[in-house]
Amino acid sequence: MTYPLQSLLFRLDAETAHRATIAALRGWGAIGAPLGRAVERAGVTLAGLHFPNRIGLAAGLDKNAEAVPGLFALGFGAVEVGTLTPRPQPGNPRPRLFRLVEDQAVINRMGFNNDGIDAALARIAKLGARRGVLGINVGANKDSDDRVADYALGVGKAAAHADYITINVSSPNTPGLRDLQSRPALDELLAASDAARQGAKRVPLFLKVAPDLDRAGMEGAIQAAIDHHIDALIVSNTTISRPALHSPHRNETGGLSGAPLRDLARAKLAEAVAIAAGALPLISAGGIDGPEEARRRFDAGAVLVQVYSALVYQGPAMVRAIAKAL
């Protein structure tokens, strides 16, 4: 299936196409285009937040919160910006983003390139009323000597602007970051993050994990999340595993997302649902490409779904198709 502008975007290298998309969405939001009628069906309440529908944008597309109104205008019930780090950082050298067209997949090793949390929060502060739920995803700087402090700082700053905050310990592109998923590192991190959000308004905190955790790792992460009052778990980020791939870029280093992640993301959702046993709500991400796959995740126990890679291949109309079908 193709969508308008796809052939043009696919003629550009992946990162240039990404920049063009953000620029277009920024313009779209600014003129309040007719796509604006949010698809308000089948909403859900999670952690005291009302989500107008159950499809959200996963982190990483709008890292710097440049296109939030335009993204809501596409029909998302939730938009998650970030990952944002305390200080701006350039990320890894280019090329670092690859379309695997034959596999309907993406490999990225962006490495938390972002303008820093202050710049993004300044943009968010200027936005008016929102059509949906805004999540802010936080992480640590690559050269940080106290990663726990980075997260706590991010949570503390984002709390005034976010509807929810995601603690992202699952990016494969910052060396050592995913070690924070193991206990006792996770206990320390989540205790500090939980303390940092205790203000006038207790902002819901979500934790985002990798699909590469084994069962024991998932059990540890879920227990830590429950112990530290985390409000939901996002399963999952990209994978460093490599199912059979066919595209020329298949051997690039980085996190794999899109269709080849689907089976693993489903399996890890099912595992997390079984382990959490109702004590922690689950949000599913990984290879969701339309209403049928979204439905499967809800049937398996997810409260919400998030998408990213399929937007590259299906185009923005997919968002409404999912929202309407639910």
Residues recognised as catalytic: 171
Residue 110 interacts with ligand FMN (CB under 6 A)?
yes
Residue 288 interacts with ligand FMN (CB under 6 A)?
yes
Residue 237 interacts with ligand FMN (CB under 6 A)?
yes
Question: Whole-number minimum distance, CB 21 to ligand FMN, in Å?
Answer: 11
Residue range at the interface with ligand FMN (CB under 6 A); choices 40-48, 194-202, 273-281, 282-290: 282-290
Question: Whole-number minimum distance, CB 202 to ligand FMN, in Å?
Answer: 22
Residue 67 interacts with ligand FMN (CB under 6 A)?
no
Enumerate residues 168-227 that contact ligand FMN by CB under 6 A: 168, 171, 208
Q: Give dist(CA 238, CA 143) in Å, integer.
A: 22
Contact between 63 and 83 under an 8 Å Cβ cutoff? The reply is: yes
Q: Which is nearer to ligand FMN, 82 or 156 (CB)?
A: 82
Q: Give dist(CA 21, CA 17) in Å, integer.
A: 6
Question: Whole-number minimum distance, CB 127 to ligand FMN, in Å?
Answer: 20
What count of other Cβ atoms lies within 10 Å of the Cβ of residue 143? Answer: 9
Structural element, H or E, at residue 167: strand 164-168
Question: Whole-number minimum distance, CB 156 to ligand FMN, in Å?
Answer: 19
Token pair listed for 319: 């968002």
**Which of 173, 213, 208, 179 shows the shortest CA–CA distance to 193?**
208
Residue range at the interface with ligand FMN (CB under 6 A); choices 46-54, 105-113, 199-207, 268-276: 105-113
Pairing type for strands 78-84 and 205-209 reads unpaired
Q: Give dist(CA 279, CA 222) in Å, integer.
A: 9
Cα pseudo-dihedral 314, 79, 69, 109, rounded to 10: -70
Residue 257 interacts with ligand FMN (CB under 6 A)?
yes
227-256 CB burial, b ≥16 within 10 A, e <16: ebebbbbbbbbbbeeeeebebebbebebbb
Residue 307 interacts with ligand FMN (CB under 6 A)?
yes
DSSP state of 131: S
Residue 287 interacts with ligand FMN (CB under 6 A)?
yes
**Binding positions for ligand FMN, rule: CB under 6 A:** 58-60, 63, 82-83, 97, 106, 108, 110, 137, 168, 171, 208, 237-238, 257-258, 261, 285-288, 307-310
